[in-house]
Amino acid sequence: MKRALPILIISVLLLAGCSEEGDDDNDVQVILIEDDDDREPEDNTTQDDALQIDLFIVVHCEPGNLPQTTEYPDRYWPALELAVRNADEFGMRLNILMNPQWATYIMDDPERRILVRKWCDSGHEIGLHHHGPHAGSWNGYTDQEEFASNPKYIGDMEDCMDLMMQVPKSGKIRVAGVQDQDAELDYPGGISYDVDGGAGGTDDLVSVPDEVTWNGHTMTHLSHGKYGGGSEIDLTIPEIETAMDDMEEGEVMGLVFHAFEFDSNPDDIVNLFRVLNDRGVHSRSVPDIINGLGQ
């Protein structure tokens, strides 16, 4: 007999409107009734699945509007923790792409460091999500010299990567997402996989791995569609399922949501995990997918 999945009780109290980046005063509680670390996630994959669906899910962790503080990651760390816990319940592995403020916040606390490295051990990927000076909220790091005198400037991209590489157990950052205008000069070396997209709707949802070059660095590139924010660019589950039914060998599906969106819309994202699991589809890290293609 299959074990019943844990019951989720979701209570949302909206005290103020949500801004684009989630800098709001919403108080959201998602209570996972059952929390047994020894429980294995239910896997409904069957041999009838003729085509393995290669799926990756990205979580963007923003810097916030006060980049010289860790106020933003402190606000949304509980949501990220809960997103990972629920992903584990449904056999999903996440690609958690962080701005360096999150690295500072994690490295400041031994318990957070240990937890994140446990995430790595279980198959989650820690990567870079760089908000350069042309992004909506700059994280304070750049190699663009004209911004070095800006009051928000913290350091160059080497400083950024020195921070980021302390977070994963391997000491390596393999996956990144940087918007085009800043990628020209800020994209750091050593990254193997570039992921982007969201505004293109279903056009960004499925892609075939190809090469992209930013700042002199050539990487494998995949795109991802936006989910879970409730905006007009966000995909619906029926759209995702239709695209899944139409996928061909060699294609990869990608989805992205933000930590603040799990805070605001946990039920929508947990429902996505549930639907995928019911179809026998489980997301993996980008490196695992690329390394497994063609085998």
pLDDT at site 51: 72
Asked whether residue 48 is domain-assigned, the answer is: no
Asked whether residue 47 is domain-assigned, the answer is: no
Q: Which residue has the higher pLDDT, 48 or 214?
A: 214
pLDDT in tens, 8-55: 433 333 333 333 444 444 444 444 434 444 555 555 444 344 478 999
Q: Which residue has the tokens 């999945």?
A: 5
Asked whether residue 36 is domain-assigned, the answer is: no
**214 contacts 183 by C-beta, under 8 angstroms:** yes
Asked whether residue 98 is domain-assigned, the answer is: yes
| Domain count across the chain | 1
| Host domain of residue 286 | 54-292
Provide the pLDDT confidence category of residue 232 given band limits of 50, 70 and 90.
Answer: confident
Q: What pTM, to 2 d.p., does this model score?
A: 0.84
Provide the pLDDT confidence category of residue 231 given band limits of 50, 70 and 90.
Answer: confident
CA quadruple 216, 221, 225, 229: dihedral, nearest 10? -50
Asked whether residue 19 is domain-assigned, the answer is: no
Asked whether residue 100 is domain-assigned, the answer is: yes
CATH number (domain holding residue 243): 3.20.110.20
**254 contacts 207 by C-beta, under 8 angstroms:** yes
Give the residue ranges of DSSP H helices in the chain: 71-89, 100-107, 110-121, 157-164, 180-186, 237-245, 259-264, 266-278, 286-292
Asked whether residue 5 is domain-assigned, the answer is: no
d(CA 42, CA 32): 16
Provide the mean pLDDT of the chain: 87
Asked whether residue 156 is domain-assigned, the answer is: yes
pLDDT at site 230: 84
